[in-house]
A and B are shown apart, each in its own frame.
Chain A
Amino acid sequence: MIHISNLNKRYFTVDGEITALDNVSLDIAGGEFIAIIGKSGSGKTTLLNMIAGLDNPDSGSILLNNADVTKMTGKQTAVLRRREIGVIYQFYNLIPELNVVENITLPTELDGSPINSEWLAEILKVVGLSGRENAYPTALSGGQQQRAAIARALFGKPSLILADEPTGNLDNENSAEVMKLLKAMNEEYGITVLIVTHSDAVAEQARRVISIADGKITSDRRK
């Protein structure tokens, strides 16, 4: 599903050059549940953003379903994020002016596709937000906001979910709930899930754990 080869990325800061990714190569099959772990600044998020087409590498390629993300135009990567990839962030990133349903259906609306009400109801039920359809993000707890963000990522029926520290801002109970949800999505719908995390507890739940240090893959363990 994803074939990454020789990915390099350097940043230039006032303190000098930083190598975010150093010749990273990786293969991910469809339906995998992967955790990427590593220290802050090791290059985990950079890798995730490149797969999502939000950042460009200096060199190397990322083939997602045989299409090279690094060679896509801005419009093509936008379409990819609407249809193939769901992105989840640590800080939820819901739009405060939109209610739960509007936030969830936003990528589909941007795509100009019709809203499938049955699928919406199912998603809301799965994430436990039935009855909170019209609530605005400020009226939701952190856990509920993250579940709404997951629902938004899932609503377009993507083949890949990229989650950047999805439990980083949640307590243990809500973290467990979010992980349960992501696992269910992976098992029931066959969606490939790629999680970036600091948490060992979260990484333990993945079937494959990739460690990154200083922009290099240092270990790739399958359970």
Chain B
Amino acid sequence: MSPVTQIAVRRLKADKIKNGILAASVLFSMMLISFFLAFEMQVLLYPNPEYEALPFEEFMAKVSMYINLSTIVLVLITLLIIRIHCRMRMEENAQLRGILTSVGAESKDLRKIVNADIRILYLPAVLLGTMLGIHPGAQMGLNFTGMNEVQNLEWLPLTLLFAAAALIGIFLILLCNYIPELRLKRKSVIQTVKKQNHNANEQTHGYRQSKTFRNQSLTKRLAQKSIDYHGKVYSRIMLLFASSAVYPLLAVLLLWNISRESVVVDANPYDGIDTIAPVLETVGGLLWFLIGCFAVLTCVGFVQAMLIARIQIAERRRSANVYRMIGMVQKDINRMIRKELYGVAVRTLVLLIFVVVILNACFAMI
């Protein structure tokens, strides 16, 4: 094993919990992507002729469009989450890259850090996540089209879909890792090796400076300074929180919009066919399916947001050590972190309102 790979592996082992959370998040994301892809494939490729013959075509066409749109939004959001995670990871490794460059590591050596991350952290998560999502997605598709009793799952298309989803995931991971890698390569390594305590110095400076202003509470001003200083990081956290919250929100919007649609039975009452019972049964099944989706997505969004919050709070506590060193009491530090998170939450809320308006407008267009 090359020395750089060895360093990368030890780095991954040293921060097991954080890296485990990261891998779990990628796993969740891939699981969702493969779940929805399998669901879509099942619904589009194997429509139930009996089900199609039911006399509420217009209603079902609209429902399908709602679900297709939701699937696209969910896949995009999930891809965004993976991209943000990869970006955060790349920035964490910036200092190591700087040190290695200064002692004579070449670009191919530096790529080994990313390669180790991909092999150990992302690849198993991508493959396992894709595998776990495919079967439930396809089964749900069968249930949705009412074919669970007449047809078994077809494994060949599912296997192909698994391969395609896994390849998309791997391609995305490679893209998310190597593009920032190329960008960082152009950045000077000097900043990373020269300014090791840059953040700490800035924060200390901020604390001392803010002591001269007494209009606002100190912790509030410090929290604001921290948000301003770590603008990029907080924007990313905000995006992650908002993306996680989009899952349940999307489900609520979906359910709300479908419930507003009126079911028009377009069968001829003089044909003497009993249409009411199958219509009610299918609409009932559909609503239960959507409620199930709502529950699952809410859980996934909640777990993801909690995992992200946990990572960020731990990081912030670590970096807040500098305040402890200059005599700030723990209570104030905690209050400051809470205010930072509150600030992020407010911004997330604003972003979410914006997302909801756009999504609702999209649904309304249907």
Contacts and interface: CB of A to CB of B under 8 A. Distances in A.
Nearest to B197: A91
Interface in B77-109: 96, 98-107, 109
A87 interface: yes
A81 B190 contact: no
A83 B109 CA distance: 16
A78 B105 contact: yes
B196 interface: yes
B3 A110 contact: yes
B99 A82 contact: no
A87 B102 contact: yes
B95 to A, nearest CB: 8
Interface string B35-78: 00000000000000000000000000000000000000000000
A177 to B, nearest CB: 21
A54 B99 CA distance: 11
A74 B103 contact: no
Interface string A197-220: 000000000000000000000000
B14 A97 contact: yes
Contacts of B217: none
B3 A78 contact: no
Nearest to B98: A93
Nearest to A79: B104
Given A45-B190, A89-B193, A97 B10 contact: yes
Contact of A107 (B2, B98, B104, B188): B104
Contacts of B190: 45, 49, 54-55
A98 B11 CA distance: 10
B103 A82 contact: yes
A62 interface: no
B291 interface: no
A164 to B, nearest CB: 7
Contact of A87 (B103, B105, B107, B196): B103
A67 interface: no
Interface string A84-104: 000101110111111000100
B7 A110 contact: no
Interface in B186-240: 188-190, 193-194, 196-197
Contact of B99 (A95, A102, A164): A95
Given A54-B101, A102-B3, A74 B193 contact: no
Contacts of B107: 74-75
Contacts of B10: 97-98
Interface in A28-72: 45, 49, 52, 54-55
Interface residue range, chain B: 20 to 34
A110 B193 contact: no
Contacts of A94: 99
B4 interface: yes
Nearest to B99: A93
A33 to B, nearest CB: 21
A110 B4 contact: yes
B102 A89 contact: yes
Nearest to A152: B103
Nearest to B95: A93
Interface string B1-41: 01110010011001000000000000000000000000000
B193 A55 contact: no
Given A54-B188, A54-B190, A93-B196, A78 B99 contact: no
Contacts of A164: 194
Contact of B103 (A45, A91, A96, A106): A106
A55 B14 CA distance: 32
A27 interface: no
Contact of A78 (B4, B96, B104): B104
A217 B102 CA distance: 25
B134 to A, nearest CB: 37
Nearest to B107: A74
B103 A110 contact: yes
Given A91-B196, A164-B194, A78 B101 contact: yes
A174 B102 CA distance: 23
A171 interface: no
Output the residue of B4, B96, B101 with the most chain A CB within 10 A: B101
A109 interface: yes
Nearest to A74: B107
A122 interface: no
A111 interface: yes
Output the residue of B7, B105, B190, B197 with the most chain A CB within 10 A: B190
Given A49-B190, A82-B103, A93-B98, 5 more contacts: A45-B190, A78-B101, A91-B193, A111-B104, A156-B104
28 contacts: A45-B194, A49-B190, A54-B188, A55-B188, A75-B107, A78-B109, A79-B104, A79-B106, A82-B103, A82-B104, A89-B102, A91-B196, A91-B197, A93-B99, A94-B99, A95-B100, A96-B14, A97-B10, A97-B11, A98-B10, A102-B3, A106-B3, A107-B103, A110-B3, A110-B103, A110-B104, A110-B106, A152-B103
Interface of B: 2-4, 7, 10-11, 14, 96, 98-107, 109, 188-190, 193-194, 196-197
